[in-house]
Amino acid sequence: MTRVQQIGVVIGLAIVALLTMLRAGDPGIFKLIRGVTFDEYQRLVPRAFAPMPVRVIDIDEASLREFGQWPWPRDRLALLVDRLSEMGAAAIAFDVLFSEPDRLSPRNVVREVAGIDPSLAEKLPDNDEIFARSIAEKPVVLGFGLSNEGNYRPPVKAGFAFTGESPVSAPPHLGASTPLRPQLEANAAGLGHISLNPGNPSPVVRAVPLFLTDGTQLYPNLAVEALRVAQGASTYVLAGAPDRAGIMTTAKIGDFIVPLTAAGELWLYVTPDRAERYISVRQVLAPEGAFPEVAAAIAGSIVFVGTSAAGLQDIRVTALGENVPGVSLHAQAVEQILSGQFLSRPDWADGLEILVIAVLGCLLVVVTTFVSPAVALVCGLLITAMALVASWLAFLYAGLLFDPLAPIISGSITHFAATSFKILVIDRERREVRRAFGHYLSPSLLHRIEHNRDALRLGGDDRELTMMFVDVRNFTEMSERLAPTEVVAFLNTLLDALSRHVVANEGTLDKFIGDSIMAFWNAPVDVADHETKAVRTALAMRETLAELNAGDAFGFGPDQQVNIGIGIHTGLACVGNMGAKTRFNYSAVGDAVNVAARIESCCKEVGFDILISDSTARSVQAMAVIEAGALPLKGKSSRTQILAVVGDERVAASEEFAALEVVHRQLTEALQSHSRNSRKLISAAKLTAVQVTGALAEFYQRISGRTDHFRQAPEGGEKSAAD
């Protein structure tokens, strides 16, 4: 084993130890990943829906339309209890809080009316008393919620018996609850909490706490309390760990034994939401009585009264990703218990997953260090597949929940770290060679060569390119005043600052030609909106040069300003490797290249720094551009329409530019028609242009001397004198 391999093994094992300790701490990200994994398992194989003696009596939108907005007067709820009881409901559980007096009770309404004799109110019926009498001696379970205020805790209507060590401290803590109306609390056959995931920030309800604790007393939830009342059972039998307090394993509720998590939670194994589970309150309270099929569905069933109306805000998310009424999850919990289909995460699951991370991590470190990366990758993929298959089979055939992703993620991190070390240390010579070639080739070309063996051959392809030429104005005059080293320093500062914008806008730097830059877009790879990106590059260069001049970055003093000209043209060109078989450059040639270069050379004549051809302008119409005339270009038989780029879309949308466009259009029309108003319009354009940018002053100053460029006569035709 070489020293480098020894260092790699030590670093790899240290990473494995760190990941193992991280999993042992079980941070929130691991819990989130684990929960999402188990959700996906349920989505692949949800619990099959089967008819069960469990129904949701739904306060749905139709019921609200018929009986009015919620809350309803409790005498109507009393009628609902009477109807359900007459139909033979085994238990009636309300997923509704009754913590306040019924404000719609006649007695309470009269008390709020000024001038009414208080003794009259006492003679009127009280809806809470009516509701309390209705639920008395009936299998009615009322719900209570959790509260952050006070210290009220509801009475417990059932007894508790324990096997093993006491599990009283295992469930989530109940600090206080919402108080129920005293007469309702006293007459209810059972009381259960309605919280589905207290203290859990996840919007997905994956596990429901069947019990809460205040440290000395346990409180059942609505679902198990309804199941207990339906069976006429009086006691919950809870099994704790044989040698450790504060852990729950199972709960016996009448004839049913329910496996629990250590915190007394039931993992929900849900079915897709089904309409068969719901019966509208409107159907139960129909004046002519419920239909026979409704009565048959309620007879012998545990019914939960709750709401699916969106406005009442009791909508939860299941592991299947469905938005369902919260009351349906209480119903599904009872369905799951009745069906005997449970999900379970054994107490030793965490220990097994931690051990797997440690063992497989060590194995991956050894394999990655001593064999080829390909073999190591195959081993990692096999381990990933084995973890996924084992976890899936455990879920599918035994309902066991084992997390495959924590070992997979930890193994991937270990493999990545070990492989990265191998690349960074063992293969550093290869990286040094690549870095050396990077000084001679552009990054895009180097990438192209690395990924395409055919790239190292002579030849090219015809592509539509947007070409750009950038040149320094009066460079020859400037270089005469500078020493050679100063010229080099000046060019390095300027070209480095300007060329950055080409790369930033997905352009390809072709070459530096003395004080000039040649660049193009849409090769070697396709570039969307390449015309726009080229123009944006030119505008960015203009801003950068202004900043360099303002900061005297060239050391010429404030009176010596550096200016550039930029020409842009879009057209067909041949792009590829040009030169000899032993030495060539990736470049572009063709008429489009020549036109762009000629347009750049026109900047001095036009008196503006950014000029584009009409073919480019058609794709950047949202930007602020104005006509600069049809100029004769060397080597072209006809004149070429040129436009000046004033600014971007923000400038184009300004009122000042809109005014300039109007005046400029009038000016070009006057020039085309030899109008005598040309001089007056030039003066007006100068004044209007000042509101947009001072860079147009020279443009309009020179326009009077090049009126031919705006005439309709072709190149070589009769040349009119200036107006």
pLDDT tens digits along 342-356: 998 888 888 888 898
Report how far residue 539's alpha carbon sits from residue 549's, in angstroms, rounded to the nearest whole number: 16
Residues 139-169 pLDDT 10s: 999 999 998 888 899 999 999 999 989 999 9
Report how far residue 464's alpha carbon sits from residue 66's, in angstroms, rounded to the nearest whole number: 68
pLDDT recorded at residue 270: 93
684 pLDDT higher than 60:
yes
Q: Are 681 and 663 in contact (CB under 8 A)?
A: yes
* Res. 441 pLDDT band, cuts 50 70 90: very low
Residues 606-645 pLDDT 10s: 999 999 999 999 999 999 999 999 999 988 888 999 999 9
pLDDT recorded at residue 75: 92
Residues 184-195 pLDDT 10s: 999 999 999 999
* Res. 717 pLDDT band, cuts 50 70 90: very low
pLDDT recorded at residue 444: 57
Cα dihedral angle (306, 310, 315, 317), rounded to 10 degrees? Answer: 140
pLDDT recorded at residue 578: 78
Report how far residue 79's alpha carbon sits from residue 69's, in angstroms, rounded to the nearest whole number: 17
Peptide bond into 524 cis (omega under 30): yes
713 pLDDT higher than 70:
no
**Pick the residue with more confidence: 549 or 376?**
549
* Res. 357 pLDDT band, cuts 50 70 90: confident
pLDDT recorded at residue 268: 94
What percentage of the chain carries pLDDT values higher than 90? 55
- Arithmetic mean of pLDDT over the chain: 87
* Res. 427 pLDDT band, cuts 50 70 90: low
Q: Are 233 and 8 in contact (CB under 8 A)?
A: no
Q: Are 328 and 57 in contact (CB under 8 A)?
A: no
**Pick the residue with more confidence: 434 or 110?**
110
The DSSP code for 139 is -
pLDDT recorded at residue 440: 38
* Res. 722 pLDDT band, cuts 50 70 90: very low
pLDDT recorded at residue 171: 93
14 pLDDT higher than 60:
yes
* Res. 519 pLDDT band, cuts 50 70 90: very high
Average pLDDT over residues 668-691: 89
* First vs last C-alpha separation in the chain: 90
User: Is residue 73 helix, strand or coil?
Assistant: coil
Q: Specify the pTM.
A: 0.58
Report how far residue 392's alpha carbon sits from residue 385's, in angstroms, rounded to the nearest whole number: 10
3 pLDDT higher than 60:
yes
Short-list 258, 257, 215, 261, CA closest to 241: 261
* Res. 114 pLDDT band, cuts 50 70 90: low
Q: To which H or E segment does residue 380 belong?
A: helix 373-398
pLDDT recorded at residue 34: 86
**For the packed helices 373-398 and 28-44, what is the interaxial angle rounded to 10 degrees?**
60
Average pLDDT over residues 124-147: 92
- Residue 534 half-sphere exposure toward CB, CA atoms < 13 A: 34
pLDDT recorded at residue 650: 95
- The phi-psi region of residue 121 (left if phi > 0; otherwise alpha if psi is between -120 and 50; otherwise beta) is alpha
Report how far residue 29's alpha carbon sits from residue 39's, in angstroms, rounded to the nearest whole number: 15
Q: To which H or E segment does residue 74 belong?
A: helix 74-86
Residues 398-421 pLDDT 10s: 989 998 888 888 888 887 777 777
**Pick the residue with more confidence: 447 or 333?**
333
Residues 570-595 pLDDT 10s: 999 998 877 776 666 778 999 999 99
* Res. 432 pLDDT band, cuts 50 70 90: low
* Res. 715 pLDDT band, cuts 50 70 90: very low
